[in-house]
């Protein structure tokens, strides 16, 4: 058994409609590019970027977008902490992660650009298109800041070109604060030779509820941006596109979870708001009712899961969606769902922890908690999608597994999947995805409510309404008939049957496939949203001759079989994770007391192989360059060279050097 | 299950459920525990209403009273301490065909379950909700409950509890969208039956506080109430819970109380000189969340497919 | 560093005041004995047994008592499910566990005796003193049941003697239901030659609040029981006593936790009732106010821990006490306590799980949950006392560690410790145990609220009221000054400092001591309340020549050092635990997918040694005989003999054979 | 910290705290957010009462409003969503010397925090408790709150919420042992100041609902209230919250309301035609749990030792 219907990268044909030659302009051929748009919050950089991403996907490029989220709802303008925006990585082939440093940045003011430099998002030579209205501000401190910044940027090696965004927009609108983003979209359309008609359609869709006047204005701004760029920039990029044979869809991971829930036949999403999980329910709130479902916003996380369990018990398997702090509140009910065998899907969109932690940032630090939080160690299934496509398909799988094993299935995604946007093959709806209608035929008299198959532990469950199926569900120790019983045999048997279900499911699984060769020096093991970055780094390293491979786990409880055998093919195995681990370089830390990254710890117990780990809690998605450095360091060490251990990759001067970036 | 109907007309097509059809495991409460009486009355209600046992669900938390579902022969959900109501709401949400009853203790409902108590009142989903208020934690052996009156000697307050007991009624009545609030006592089966009947017929969330005796941990607590009928105030109204005259006569202390008058209900609920029994408040017209929740339960698969495709089109590149 | 001040077994001198010879009676010399008293609930068997245990301890015997708790509050009379009672194990030396099968049972009716047989508590030849009023009951079904039972018991090999308890008590009281227990105490006083004066004192203490009349009656009953036994039983046991040099105290583990809390200087116990934890607060509720403390019964478990954290934040380090289901609700706050560095003690009295599980029964199944439940994997300290004495001392250690490491310390006990009673050396109060008074001196200006020592991560905390110490505690990622900060460096640093505190503490620990020899064939590893049973089994096996040793862990996070080295001395290492593990004999279970017992799993990850496990979830404490069988089976396998794996030891016919025990 | 007192008398011995002594980090709420006004008023209250910053603790949950403590220069506890009150109660329990203030949002207090809200009212421990009711979830970007009025379009109810908004006042007033309940609006600093003053002086749990504007997610919600002074009912009484005449004059719509009359308070609280501001209810004599809790805080170590020894004697063999 393999979860979901995730597919191979789409094959396709190169697009014959290449952009017309523009003989007066320099043509810069590229294979891929990383573009960022950064602005103050509220200036619409994200909307422009999402449109640009979707447009690019429509034209046949690989795309991955990541939002740049400010810490505050309404941060002060022109502040580093307030940088709001988006990164769009484009490629002629499939793109699976945010990549490393940006090739091009469009910045609405110089302060938000500082923030990107501090975050290590830029490199020497990054082309920056910078709004220049600040140079002539009537506030002297702004003019001074501008001058200082221009010098800083030059020293840092950025290729800054000033762009009169405001001035140009003012020709069309009194309020460029609201329109600038579409002008920028136009500019990018020229630079990457995007199909203007498609762009115009895009604008019509975005503003469809705002009326013709708004649409017209934005169309004008778009075209103005294009024209200005063609006249003033003197070059364009030539990025080959490749139209997919298959129809594609493009969305973020939370939308994919929501759509997957709809496709799975579940009819109830019961939740309590929490970042970054809530947008699953925002999306569903718009469409679910028409599709026969309902979103219940409960009074708290406990009520949310209790409500979902009530639905499930009554035959309508439901799901709840949350993030770390909310997960902590659901544990008692998850334990009940295992003990009393109620199917249930729990989606956990991981954010930075512990505690309230980093609400908007990505981490993979809830694995141990998802697995072990419930007192009494109740066995359950945990899935972790690695791509946005899998976010869709795993929801269907999760519902099916929940019903099959009569228990909870936890789906672990994270903030990177939640807000990242990527095209993937449009799912072909299958009627069997939908849950069957509630069984209301009479229950066979005499068959107990937990008629455990002695081999598998599986059993069919009576649904209220079924004649003769009456039983009283309980979280106390109980026998087959759901009667409370405290004798040793009954409790041992119950624990055993519930555990066996997971083992029976495990026995249907195949070994996961190694990316790269099946043997070599180093094996990187990952899970969740980091797959794209890890595999890209592995591919790059392999091209340079490194004997490195990677393995990505999608089922974290029970583990897929054959891990120990796979590990045996490599000199060293290490996980790459977004959670905390002690560094051996730190005081007091020894191999004997080190706290390992979470998957590494589990794999050690499981395989007894000395699985090492590289993990960071820096709050942003993993980037291939950082992993590549880890690979090279490890290989150097394996080959007897000193090799350094990196904590973070440091592209461009980071904000730490005050002389450069005061 | 096929029994003789009380009017002695035999109808072999339609099953007739008798008391035994609702009787589950033998009740294991202490002798003299008020819960026994409630169980018998609820079983009678089910019989009188001829509720198909398979269409009936009893949901509870954890506590002595929460063992109730085991003693019924219907579907049951004996869940977590304090969490009966979210589960019941979930069951109700997509299953308007089921009869949902909820059983909670005072700790269950008014302490750990407070948030759900308040919010499920607000949701106003059709179900009969019984608070078994014995003013003590029974199952865990006699700790103070929020509803324990001040000075109660308990295992957590051996020299007497400090705070005045929480009266659950004014809070219940204070929740926006409340629709049915009644009170009865475990030792008056006729009144309890009439109250349950009214609750069952109520189109919404019908909340009944049952003053319940716990001879084991709160011995003699209601002695005065039992001994002196004047300590009970019988709320009387044609829109309220009406009793056969011979029962009503027991209560010399009567008050006309119009259950549509929320402020009057609150006034009665706050009285400490007497214990009012009867219907405090009812409003049949309040918004029901279960009606909203179940509106689209019959969406055909074709429509689901169509919607999914429409959405995929929206996301198509 | 070693937690608590647990001491070695008390040395002592043999008691010169031996009981006078009773020449007319048979003297049966014994070294130890297991006595049970079983009755219907409400007949006072537990009170009689506790008095007997205390009395025996006072006379210089080793004692261990375990309550036999019915499943219902007021179960039906004369029912198997309703058996209520107590086991008292007595020895001339120290007694550390409940032992195996009973030597003597006093049963108030024949049905409760059935229940003990079903539980495997008896053996062939167990002497049963059985109330015989049922033989002449005026209810024929009772008389019939009696006759059937007498035959069953005979067939099962019990040595049953009928005792006219009711008849004898009726000579002194109209209500023998309330008096029989003291008559039985009298009977036991004769049988074990207990000092009658001490017994009378005991009665005066128990009934001190009930008035002279009640005391008088019970004294009469006591004496009547003694007289009857001396006249009718024809024998007595001669159990050497050995008065301790040191003064001893005798209490159960929950009382020890409560006393330890008082001694630790903590002033607030904030809790919500839950079995089997609540009696800690019952005990404290009686005495804490006079000792300057207060018990707060909160509205739920979340509020209970929140309240404790509030106290701790304000300078009065507090504790909360709960069991599994309550622990699940406290996880979010425990995570906050780690993240924001608030000292806190969390006592978890483990019961059977998962979910509501087995509320009154013992299990050790909350270890993984205590360690990993909080999202974000926050580091913390976990202690597990192995004896009742350690329940006392670990509370003091826990408070000190909580303050030292500025974070939560979890103390894991269980239902066996909670209700078990054992004498131990009376603690000598040390003034330094008490928490120092709240520091209200001015905070040094400029020192941040988290002035992390870069080596150890430790820091001093400002307490509200300290001038210039003002800071805003937060569970969000924060810098030294407790300012919210989402940048990578700050969050990495915070995670690192919090982890380092635990490592720094770990570096002060010594290797745990092996019981038995440091090398051999088999090492058993245990934790918590099972120590006595494991060590007794190991001692017995070693006497038979087996090369087996045991290791008992008291600190479960971080682990004490040197485990891997210790394990290296043995051919096989396995844990003995009271939690669930898959059996390799079960369908689908392979070494690759097996779910291990909880400590075993952790030790595998920690040491990469192939640690096996033997674990059961039968709801009662481990008994030496079962462990002995495990040892012998393992040694046989190690030495190439087939060896069988036992799930449970089966003394006497269990209730499963209906022909024997219908 | 040493500043000029308003009456211009210099007292160099006694520190005088001025506004700046209470100002923490720069407030990061949206422009126009009602929270700014509350912050300024609370800082004024601290200054007027000359609360030593180190003796003052602001406790909050999670939400926009819960960032409040960061903007004060006192001790603060920015804890978990919904859990401000248990923490505040714990702080209060053994520290009668501290001034405790609590800040909660409507989701924080009336949704996830409901159980603590109800029970901490009952505990009646001295603290000033502010519910910032903007009828929306601000920090998480605009989901429906229990207090959102029916039909509110939010990110979880894009076509409008289903249930009537929960009115927090009747519940608050319905809790046994309630001792102080008031309401004010963020846009009337004089009234807010007077309300805070009364709350601060109240010997018990002083609960204030502040009707708060959220221009970001609930734009224009209170426009009518602001535009039409007749929609506000000013509760006036010499035992209540009194305003300088020039401010009081703004409210043509006044009602005499005796804050000792709980039923009248409930009646006002339930009105939907107008929004009453002022003091609904006050009773200075209710049982205080913090008085009980702190009674023995000064137990000397000798006594602790003696007690421990007494207990060990009890257990001695
Ligand atoms: C989360 C959790 N906390 C605590 C308990 C322990 N517990 C079980 S029942 C109960 C209270 C019982 O009192 P009440 O609700 O009044 O019911 P009663 O027994 O009086 O009918 C408690 C505290 C539990 N099972 N789960
Ligand atoms: C346990 C938990 N659940 C959910 C959240 C997410 N969350 C943070 S603030 C908030 C609600 C904010 O609304 P409100 O309390 O009204 O405060 P406001 O922002 O409007 O001031 C939620 C749901 C959380 N942090 N923790
Ligand atoms: S303890 Fe009280 S509530 Fe529980 S069964 Fe006995 S009498 Fe009833
Ligand atoms: S979102 Fe609303 S409540 Fe939050 S800061 Fe902005 S205006 Fe204030
Ligand atoms: Mg109760
Ligand atoms: Mg709000």
Residue D261 has pLDDT above 70, yes or no: yes
Can you give C451-518 as a three-state secondary structure string? CCCCCCCCCCCCCCCCCCCCCEEECECECCCCCECCCHHHHHHHHHHHHHHHHHHHCCCCCCCEECCC
C-beta separation of C534 from C361 below 8 A: no
Rounded-to-5 percentages of helix, strand, coil across chain B: 35, 20, 45
Lowest mean pLDDT among A6-20, A146-160, D216-230, D296-310: A6-20
| Cβ-nearest to D112 among A75, A282, A299 | A299
CB contact under 8 A, B77 and A263: no
Q: Quick one: average pLDDT of A544-548? A: 97
What is the reported pLDDT for A661? Answer: 26
pLDDT in tens, C30-78: 999 999 999 998 899 999 999 999 999 999 999 999 999 876 656 788 9
Tokens of D222: 């209170």
What is the reported pLDDT for A465? Answer: 98
**C425: which strand partners?**
C248
pLDDT-derived band at A70, boundaries 50, 70, 90: confident
C-beta separation of A350 from A415 below 8 A: yes
CB contact under 8 A, D164 and B174: no
Q: Quick one: average pLDDT of A564-583? A: 98
Chain D's closest residue to B148, CA to CA, is D176
Tokens of C80: 């198997």
Lowest mean pLDDT among B22-36, C2-16, D144-158: C2-16
DSSP-derived 3-state class of residue B22: helix
pLDDT-derived band at C609, boundaries 50, 70, 90: very high
The whole domain housing B158 covers: 19-313
Supply the CATH number for residue B83's domain. 3.40.50.970
Residue C2 has pLDDT above 80, yes or no: no
Number of domains in chain B: 1
- Whose CA is closest to D267, among D284, D251, D252, D255? D255
- CB within 8 Å of chain D, chain C residues 406-465: 423, 426-427, 429, 431, 434, 462, 464-465
Most distant pair of Cα atoms in chain B: their distance: 79
CB contact under 8 A, A299 and D156: no
pLDDT-derived band at A6, boundaries 50, 70, 90: very low
Q: Quick one: average pLDDT of B156-171? A: 97
- Whose CA is closest to C192, among C45, C65, C43, C22? C22
Q: Whose CA is nearest to atom 20 of ligand 1?
A: B138
For chain A, where do the domains classified as CATH 3.40.50.970 start and end?
249-432
- The residue to which tokens 């455990």 are assigned: A452
Q: Quick one: average pLDDT of C107-130? A: 94
What is the reported pLDDT for C73? Answer: 59
C-beta separation of C272 from B114 below 8 A: no
**CATH level 3 topology of C24-245:** Pyruvate-ferredoxin Oxidoreductase; domain 3 (3.40.920)
Residue A15 has pLDDT above 90, yes or no: no
Question: Reading across the β-sheet that carries A548-553, which strands appear in turn?
Answer: A514-515, A548-553, A520-527, A570-577, A612-615
Measured in Å, residue A251 CA sits from the centre of ligand 4 at 28
Residue A494 has pLDDT above 90, yes or no: yes
Q: What are phi and psi of C161, to 5 degrees?
A: -120, 130
pLDDT in tens, A126-145: 999 999 999 999 999 999 99
Mutation choice for ligand 4 from D213, D216, D218, D219, CB with most ligand atoms inside 8 A: D216
**Optimal mutation site among D82, D109, D115, interface B, most CBs of chain B within 10 A:** D115
Asked, for residue B95, whether it belongs to a domain, the answer is yes
Q: In the complex, which subunits touch D with 3 or more CB pairs below 8 angstroms?
A: A, B, C
Say how far apart CA A228 and CA A166 lie, in whole Å: 12
pTM for this structure?
0.95
DSSP-derived 3-state class of residue B83: coil
Average model confidence (pLDDT) across chain C? 92
Q: Quick one: average pLDDT of D245-264? A: 91
Q: Quick one: average pLDDT of C309-331? A: 98
Q: Quick one: average pLDDT of A281-290? A: 97
Cis peptide upstream of residue A276 (ω within 30 degrees of 0): yes
Chain B neighbors of D178, CB-CB under 8 A = none
Q: Has domain C249-432 been given CATH number 3.40.50.970?
A: yes
Asked, for residue B5, whether it belongs to a domain, the answer is no
Q: Is A358 on the interface with D (CB under 8 A)?
A: no
Residue C654 has pLDDT above 90, yes or no: no
Asked, for residue B73, whether it belongs to a domain, the answer is yes
C-beta separation of D85 from D66 below 8 A: no
Calculate ∠ Cα A197-A202-A206, nearest 5°.
Answer: 150
Q: Quick one: average pLDDT of C300-321? A: 98
| Cβ-nearest to C469 among D54, D295, D303 | D54
Asked, for residue D103, whether it belongs to a domain, the answer is yes
Q: Quick one: average pLDDT of A213-237? A: 96
Give the minimum alpha-carbon distance from A175 to chain D in angstroms, rounded to a whole number. 19
What is the reported pLDDT for D299? Answer: 96
CB contact under 8 A, C285 and B138: no
Asked, for residue B1, whether it belongs to a domain, the answer is no
CB contact under 8 A, C289 and D296: yes
C-beta separation of C126 from C104 below 8 A: yes
- The residue to which tokens 């004047």 are assigned: B230
Asked, for residue D2, whether it belongs to a domain, the answer is no
What is the reported pLDDT for A76? Answer: 80
Chain A's closest residue to D109, CA to CA, is A299
Tokens of A447: 């068959």
pLDDT in tens, C174-193: 988 888 999 999 999 999 99
For chain A, the first-to-last Cα distance in angstroms comes to: 56
Calculate ∠ Cα C86-C88-C93, nearest 5°.
Answer: 165
For chain C, the first-to-last Cα distance in angstroms comes to: 56
What is the reported pLDDT for B267? Answer: 98
The hierarchical CATH code for the domain C514-638 is: 3.40.50.920
Most distant pair of Cα atoms in chain D: their distance: 79
C-beta separation of C178 from C48 below 8 A: no
Chain D neighbors of C336, CB-CB under 8 A = 79-80
CB atoms inside a 10 Å sphere around CB D129: 26
Residue B177 has pLDDT above 50, yes or no: yes
CB contact under 8 A, C299 and D77: no
pLDDT-derived band at A471, boundaries 50, 70, 90: very high
**Optimal mutation site among A326, A336, A376, A661, interface C, most CBs of chain C within 10 A:** A376
What is the reported pLDDT for A652? Answer: 56
Average model confidence (pLDDT) across chain A? 92
For chain A, where do the domains classified as CATH 3.40.920.10 start and end?
24-245
pLDDT in tens, B111-147: 999 999 999 999 999 999 999 999 999 999 999 999 9
CB atoms inside a 10 Å sphere around CB A27: 13
Average model confidence (pLDDT) across chain B? 94
- CB within 8 Å of chain D, chain A residues 104-163: none
Chain B neighbors of A318, CB-CB under 8 A = 90
pLDDT-derived band at B59, boundaries 50, 70, 90: very high
Residue A357 has pLDDT above 80, yes or no: yes
Query: How is residue B282 annotated by DSSP?
Result: E
pLDDT-derived band at A149, boundaries 50, 70, 90: very high
pLDDT in tens, A377-415: 999 999 999 999 999 999 999 999 999 999 999 999 999
| Cβ-nearest to D94 among C314, C431, C473 | C314
Most distant pair of Cα atoms in chain C: their distance: 87
Q: Whose CA is nearest to atom 5 of ligand 4?
A: D29
DSSP-derived 3-state class of residue D138: coil
| Cβ-nearest to C300 among B112, B155, B216 | B112
What is the reported pLDDT for D213? Answer: 98
Asked, for residue D47, whether it belongs to a domain, the answer is yes
Give the minimum alpha-carbon distance from C217 to chain B in angstroms, rounded to a whole number. 24
Mutation choice for ligand 3 from B214, B215, B218, CB with most ligand atoms inside 8 A: B214
Q: Quick one: average pLDDT of B183-212? A: 97
pLDDT in tens, C423-465: 999 999 999 999 999 999 999 999 999 999 999 999 999 999 9
What is the reported pLDDT for A643? Answer: 52
The bridge status of strand A248-252 relative to strand A421-425 is antiparallel
pLDDT in tens, C198-251: 999 999 988 988 889 999 999 999 999 999 999 999 999 999 998 888 899 999
What is the reported pLDDT for A243? Answer: 84
Q: Quick one: average pLDDT of B195-223? A: 97
Q: Quick one: average pLDDT of B186-194? A: 96
DSSP-derived 3-state class of residue C524: strand
Higher pLDDT, A89 or C70: A89
Residue A72 has pLDDT above 80, yes or no: no
Contacts of A18 (CB under 8 A, 6+ apart): A240
Q: Quick one: average pLDDT of C527-531? A: 98
Contacts of A417 (CB under 8 A, 6+ apart): A252, A253, A254, A349, A385, A387, A388, A391, A528, A529
Q: Quick one: average pLDDT of C118-144? A: 94
What is the reported pLDDT for D11? Answer: 54
Measured in Å, residue C363 CA sits from the centre of ligand 5 at 27
Say how far apart CA D214 and CA D30 lie, in whole Å: 8
DSSP-derived 3-state class of residue A354: coil
C-beta separation of A266 from B304 below 8 A: no
pLDDT in tens, B74-98: 999 999 999 999 999 999 999 999 9
CB contact under 8 A, D30 and A76: no
For chain A, where do the domains classified as CATH 3.40.50.920 start and end?
514-638
DSSP string covering A562-596: THHHHHHTEEEEEEEESS----TTSTT--TTTPPP
Element (H, E) at C533: helix C531-543
Measured in Å, residue B143 CA sits from the centre of ligand 1 at 10
Helices (H) and strands (E) in chain A, counts: 19, 25
Residue B219 has pLDDT above 50, yes or no: yes
| Cβ-nearest to B162 among D164, D174, D289 | D289
What is the reported pLDDT for A406? Answer: 98
Q: What are phi and psi of D130, to 5 degrees?
A: -115, 120
Residue C466 has pLDDT above 90, yes or no: yes
Asked, for residue D14, whether it belongs to a domain, the answer is no
Q: What are phi and psi of A512, to 5 degrees?
A: -70, 155
What is the reported pLDDT for B13? Answer: 65
Chain A neighbors of B97, CB-CB under 8 A = 465
Residue C574 has pLDDT above 70, yes or no: yes
Chain B neighbors of D150, CB-CB under 8 A = 287
Element (H, E) at A606: helix A598-607
Q: Which residues does a 6 A CB cutoff place in the pocket of ligand 3?
A: B 29-30, 33, 35, 64, 134, 138, 214-217; C 73-74
CB contact under 8 A, A316 and B79: no
Q: What are phi and psi of D260, to 5 degrees?
A: -90, -5
| Cβ-nearest to C268 among D75, D93, D115 | D93
Q: At what angle do helices C176-191 and C212-232 cross, to 10 degrees?
A: 50
Q: Is D125 on the interface with B (CB under 8 A)?
A: no
Tokens of C494: 């915070």
Give the minimum alpha-carbon distance from D9 to chain B in angstroms, rounded to a whole number. 46
Average model confidence (pLDDT) across chain D? 94
- pLDDT > 70: percent of chain C: 93
Contacts of C392 (CB under 8 A, 6+ apart): C4, C256, C257, C259, C260, C263, C424, C427
What is the reported pLDDT for C642? Answer: 65
């Amino acid at each position: 058994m393999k979860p979901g219907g995730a597919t191979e990268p789409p094959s396709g044909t190169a697009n014959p409609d290449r952009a017309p030659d523009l003989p007066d302009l320099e043509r810069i051929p590229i294979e891929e590019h990383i573009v960022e748009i950064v602005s103050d919050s509220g200036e619409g950089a994200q909307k422009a970027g999402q449109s640009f991403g979707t447009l690019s996907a429509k034209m046949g490029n690989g795309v991955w977008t990541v939002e740049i989220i400010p810490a505050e709802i309404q941060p002060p303008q022109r502040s580093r902490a307030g940088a709001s925006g988006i990164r769009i990585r484009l490629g002629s082939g499939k793109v699976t992660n945010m990549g490393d440093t940006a090739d091009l940045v469009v910045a609405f003011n110089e302060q938000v650009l500082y923030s990107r430099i501090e975050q290590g998002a830029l490199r020497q030579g990054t082309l920056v298109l910078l709004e220049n209205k600040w140079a002539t501000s009537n506030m002297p401190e702004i003019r001074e800041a501008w001058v200082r910044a221009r010098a800083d940027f030059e020293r840092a090696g950025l290729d800054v070109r000033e762009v009169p965004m405001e001035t140009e927009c003012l020709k069309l609108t009194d309020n460029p604060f609201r329109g600038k983003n579409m002008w920028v979209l136009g500019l990018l359309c020229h630079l990457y030779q995007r199909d203007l008609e498609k762009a115009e359609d895009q604008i019509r869709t975005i503003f469809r509820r705002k009326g013709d006047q708004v649409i017209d204005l934005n169309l004008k701004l778009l075209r103005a941006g294009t024209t200005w760029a063609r006249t003033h920039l003197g070059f364009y990029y030539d990025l080959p596109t490749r139209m997919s044979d298959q129809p594609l869809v493009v969305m973020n991971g939370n939308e994919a979870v929501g759509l997957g829930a709809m496709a799975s036949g579940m009819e109830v999403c019961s939740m309590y708001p929490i970042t970054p999980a809530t947008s699953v329910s925002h999306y569903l709130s718009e469409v679910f009712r028409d599709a026969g479902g309902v979103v219940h916003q409960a009074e708290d996380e406990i009520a949310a899961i209790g409500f979902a369990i009530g639905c499930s018990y009554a035959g309508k398997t439901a799901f709840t969606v949350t993030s770390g702090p909310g997960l902590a509140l659901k544990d008692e009910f998850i334990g009940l769902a295992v003990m009393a065998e109620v199917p249930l899907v729990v989606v956990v969109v991981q954010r930075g922890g512990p505690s309230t932690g980093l609400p908007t940032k990505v981490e993979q630090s809830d694995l141990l908690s998802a697995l072990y939080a419930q007192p009494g160690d109740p066995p359950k299934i945990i899935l972790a999608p690695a791509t946005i496509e899998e976010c869709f398909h795993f929801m269907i799988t999760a519902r099916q597994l929940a019903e099959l094993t009569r228990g909870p299935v936890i789906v672990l995604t994270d903030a990177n999947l939640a807000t990242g946007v990527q095209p993937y093959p449009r799912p072909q709806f299958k009627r069997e995805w939908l849950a069957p209608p509630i069984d209301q035929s009479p229950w066979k008299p005499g068959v107990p409510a937990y008629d455990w198959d002695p081999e598998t532990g599986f059993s069919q469950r009576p649904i209220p309404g079924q004649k003769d199926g009456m039983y009283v569900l309980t979280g106390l120790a109980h026998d087959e008939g759901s009667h409370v019983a405290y004798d040793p045999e009954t409790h041992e048997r119950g624990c055993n049957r519930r555990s066996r279900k997971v083992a029976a499911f495990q026995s249907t699984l195949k070994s996961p496939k190694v990316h790269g060769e099946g043997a070599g020096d180093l094996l990187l093991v990952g899970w969740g949203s980091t797959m794209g970055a890890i595999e890209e780094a592995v591919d790059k390293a392999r091209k340079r001759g490194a004997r490195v491979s990677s393995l990505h786990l999608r089922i974290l409880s029970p583990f897929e079989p054959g891990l120990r055998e796979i590990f045996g093919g490599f000199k060293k195995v290490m996980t790459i994770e977004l959670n905390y681990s002690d560094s051996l370089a730190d005081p007091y830390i020894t191999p004997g007391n080190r706290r390992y990254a979470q998957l590494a710890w589990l794999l050690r117990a499981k395989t007894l192989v000395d699985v090492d780990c590289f993990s960071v809690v820096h709050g942003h998605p993993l980037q291939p360059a950082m992993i590549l450095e880890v690979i090279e360091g490890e290989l150097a060490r394996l080959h007897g060279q000193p090799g350094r251990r990196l904590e973070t990759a440091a592209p461009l001067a980071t904000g730490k050097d005050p002389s450069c970036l005061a | 299950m096929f029994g003789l109907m009380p009017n002695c007309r035999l109808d072999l097509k339609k099953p007739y459920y008798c008391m035994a059809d609702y009787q589950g495991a033998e009740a294991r409460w202490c002798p003299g525990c008020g819960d026994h009486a409630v169980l018998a009355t609820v079983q009678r209600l089910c019989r009188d209403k001829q509720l198909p046992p398979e269409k009936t669900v009893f949901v509870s938390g954890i506590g002595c009273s929460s063992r109730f579902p085991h003693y019924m022969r219907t579907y049951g959900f004996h869940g977590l301490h304090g969490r009966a109501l979210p589960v019941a709401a979930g069951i109700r949400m997509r299953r308007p065909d089921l009869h949902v009853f909820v059983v909670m203790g005072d700790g269950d409902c008014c302490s750990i379950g407070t948030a759900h108590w308040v919010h499920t009142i607000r949701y106003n989903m059709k179900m009969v909700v019984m608070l078994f208020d014995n003013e003590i934690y029974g199952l865990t052996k006699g700790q103070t409950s929020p509803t324990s009156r001040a000075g109660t000697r308990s295992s957590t307050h051996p020299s007497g509890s400090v705070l005045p007991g929480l009266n659950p009624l004014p809070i219940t009545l204070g929740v926006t969208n409340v629709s049915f609030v009644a009170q009865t006592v475990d030792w008056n089966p006729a009144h309890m039956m009439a109250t349950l009947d009214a609750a069952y017929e109520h189109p919404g969330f019908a909340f009944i506080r049952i003053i319940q005796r716990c001879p084991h941990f709160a011995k003699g607590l209601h002695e005065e109430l039992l001994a002196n009928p004047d300590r009970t105030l019988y709320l009387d109204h044609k829109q309220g819970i009406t009793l056969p005259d011979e029962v009503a006569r027991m209560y010399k202390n009567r008050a006309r109380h119009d259950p549509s008058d929320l402020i009057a209900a609150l006034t009665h609920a706050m009285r400490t000189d007497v214990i009012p029994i009867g219907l405090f408040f009812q409003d049949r017209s309040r918004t029901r969340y279960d009606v909203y929740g179940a509106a689209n339960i019959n969406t055909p698969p074709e429509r689901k497919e169509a919607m999914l495709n429409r959405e995929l089109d929206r996301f198509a590149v």
